[in-house]
Amino acid sequence: MKKVVSILLVLVLGVGTVLAMTGCSGSKSNAQYKIGICQLVEHVALDAATEGFKQAIIDELGEDAVAFDVQNGQNDPNTCSTIVNQFVANDVDLIMANATPALQSAAAATAEIPILGTSVTEYGVALNLKDFNGTVGGNISGTSDLAPLDKQAEMITAWCPDAKTVGLLYCSKEANSQYQVNVVKTALEQKGLTATLYPFTDSNDLAQICTAAADNCDAIYVPTDNTVAENTVIIDNICQPKKIPVIAGEEGICAGCGIATLSISYFDLGYTTGKMAVKILRDGADISTMPIQYAEKQTPKFNQQICDALDITPLEGYVAIETK
């Protein structure tokens, strides 16, 4: 009888040892990651980038492996700061910052938690980096939505061959918008056009500044600007009745107020960012050595409805924007 008890005791202890070893062998890849997403504002492009980011991670890790905390910054840098500081307090495993002000807020909040930006045009400008060489370093990397600005300048002359004056409409609070219009301005002036900057502070003075641009220019260019993206109706209501064509920096803006754009897929951009997140979280990649990645493909597109309203014949090689 004592032998039977001894055997049973050994078996029980053995099973307990095995269970204990199994519990200790669990790795981070089997646990749930916490990812904080700070999206500056809700509009088509940023929404698509967030969805692409989440989808890539779910595709790689599965839905049960990650908990997303998605927060909207309401187009306010101060709100973005509050959001990312809460992410830091919650000890998230990674922060995704969607748009430049969100990235700037995240960079100010932590130097330890990995930060991936997306929908950011130029990281050197956004983070005030000198001699930026394509890799931020530290705890920051991500993807850029920069489309070839020289080609966008060429689009203006191609779509508006009679234009002699071009207004560059943008939000002065967005550093990357300033960068884009500066580059396009130089390119247009090299072509002999007069290019004038029309900066507005926020949506409150957008209508006034846009009206001034439409009254004094033959065409208007708007970059990938989040405040513009959120208020395309205002621009369209001013420019379309005045027969002023708008060339846009991305598809979502063009769908709202433009005639043509050279745009990227923001879903694909977010998806690329998500794959970078997987490399960091699951594979242990060093974010400090990860270079900024850029969209591989840009597609020339046009807005059929606004082209019809302005009696403009779409150029060959452009794809019509799908409208809902």
What residues does each domain of the chain span? 32-145+265-291, 149-263+299-320
| CA–CA dist 297, 226 (Å, integer) | 21
Please report the pLDDT score of residue 322 as a whole number: 87
Global pTM value: 0.83
Mark 110-139 as b/e (b = at least 16 C-beta within 10 Å). beebbbbbbbbbbbebbbeeeebeebbeeb
What 3-state DSSP class applies to 218?
A: coil
Query: What are the beta bridge partners of residue 153?
Result: none
Residue 52: what are its φ and ψ, rounded to 5°? -65, -40
Residue 32: the pLDDT is 87
Contact of 97 with 70, CB cutoff 8 Å: no
* β-sheet with 165-171: strand ranges across: 194-200, 165-171, 219-222, 246-248, 260-263, 299-302, 319-320
Same fold for the domain at 32-145+265-291 and the one at 149-263+299-320?
yes
In order, the DSSP letters of 126-174 are HTT-TT--S--BTTEEEEE----HHHHHHHHHHH-TT--EEEEEEETT-
- Report, as ranges of residue numbers, the positions in the chain whose pLDDT lies below 50: 1-30
| CATH no. of 32-145+265-291 | 3.40.50.2300
User: In terms of Cα–Cα distance, which of 40, 41, 61, 173 is closest to 117?
Assistant: 40
Q: In what order do the strands lie in the sheet with 66-72?
A: 66-72, 33-39, 94-98, 115-120, 140-144, 293-294
Bridge-based pairing of strands 260-263 and 299-302 is antiparallel
Contact criterion met (CB below 8 Å) for 232 and 249 = no
pLDDT score of 7: 40
Cα–Cα distance for residue pair 291/310, rounded to 1 Å? 43
What is the pLDDT at residue 324?
A: 62
pLDDT at 2: 39
Q: For residue 12, how many other CB atoms are within 10 A of its CB?
A: 10
Tell me how far apart the alpha carbons of residues 146 and 134 are, in angstroms, rounded to a whole number. Answer: 13
Q: CATH assignment of 149-263+299-320?
A: 3.40.50.2300
